[in-house]
Amino acid sequence: MPAVTTSSRPTSADVLVVGAGPAGSAAAAWAARAGLDVVLADAATFPRDKTCGDGLTPRAIGEMQKLGLEDWLRAHTVNEGLRAHGFGQTLLLPWPGGSLPDWGSAVARTELDDHLRTVAIKSGARAVDGARAVGVRREGEQVAAVELRDAEGSYEVACRWLVVADGVRSPLGKMLGREWHRDTVYAVAGRSYVDSELSDDPWISSHLELRDEQGELVTGYGWIFPLGDGTVNLGAGTLATSRRPAEVAIKPLMQTYADTIGADFGLSGELRMPTSALLPMGGAVSNVAGPNWALIGDAAACVNPLNGEGIDYGLETGRLVAEHIASGTGLGEAWRTTLVEHYGEAFSIARRLAGIATQPKVVAALGPAGMRSDWLMTLALRWMGNLVDDADRDRAARVWRWAGRRSMARDARPPFA
């Protein structure tokens, strides 16, 4: 489906969405479907690439289904769960299902984001690309307009509501006062594409025992996500905090990882399009909303601290912020409260566990024991993937929520604070 772009500069909108990744496009689609006049602006020209593992877990699949995209997804690769490798063990861990779908997928972000943006346009949003947000005009505490700059110069778009979905660095969010706090865990991750004989593998793979060129254990993991087109997305990520910063070069680490597993996965040729990114995680940002503006997705650090996933939270927060705006609930503290209610407990306990995992000695001690237990790893998959929905009432879900509440009570800086 080709991208669609408006031919003229918009001057006003009910809702201005800045950033056309999954979060921004979902917000634009849902707001337009609610009958609002929506402008969706992005600094890039679509289609464009984005550093990502390209994986869509059941939580993301559920949101894509709500948008009416299940058939489109099923035309791509479909996976049954996670194949976990490490410490001499390999485990097959099916997606648990329950209140969420029991299947996953993987779609290259160049295609996924372009398609989601087109869905927003077909829902009624007006899209402009090649337009970077460079300024904000306020009236009191409200945002009255955003200054966009394209190849021809600058212009303003007046708006009643502003949705900030401009990614992990969030330059517009910074203009509005967003702060990233690195005392909790964050990630440095990279991805590449490589030819593979297992491009149609029905399992995504994760290697929990990741080692560098010297054979030293790295606090992170590597992944192989089949794309069904003769290639896989191969990547690696490492965890860090301000106390224990990442001191590993990601691109050489990816090459070492590829060399290590190449024969097992039928890899051939060079790693193509290697890119890397720094990921704020677990709601480690403050000033996420004002009276008529809100940060969503990666801009709000809605990234899972245990697996680095952000597409699902981007899609969810896009839908939730559109519901807020359409219902007249308002933003500001109401939006921060919504983020805390949906993600606070899970992010708090997840980033606490991930912080422990930044210590190689802990990983070396606990990794082998965990990989010997199918039951424990199945539980870990559900918790690490945040595959616990509000509707789940089983014991594992209750334990996760209980741990999250206890963790939140102990946080010096809770998520989104």
pLDDT along the chain (417 residues), means of 10: 58 98 98 98 96 94 98 96 88 87 96 98 97 97 97 97 97 98 90 97 93 86 96 93 78 95 97 95 97 98 92 98 94 97 92 77 66 66 72 77 89 93
Half-sphere exposure of 119 (CA within 13 A, CB side): 27
- Residue type at 378 in one-letter notation: T
* Listed residue (144, 122, 148) closest to 135, CA to CA: 148
Q: What is the pLDDT of residue 355?
A: 79
pLDDT at 401: 85
CA atoms within 13 A on the CB side of 77: 28
- CA-nearest of 194, 198, 244, 191 to 218 is 244
Which phi and psi angles does 59 have, rounded to 5°? -65, -40
- Beta-carbon contacts of residue 375 (< 8 Å; ≥ 6 apart): none
d(CA 367, CA 293): 43
Tell me the backbone φ, ψ of residue 332, rounded to 5 degrees.
55, -130
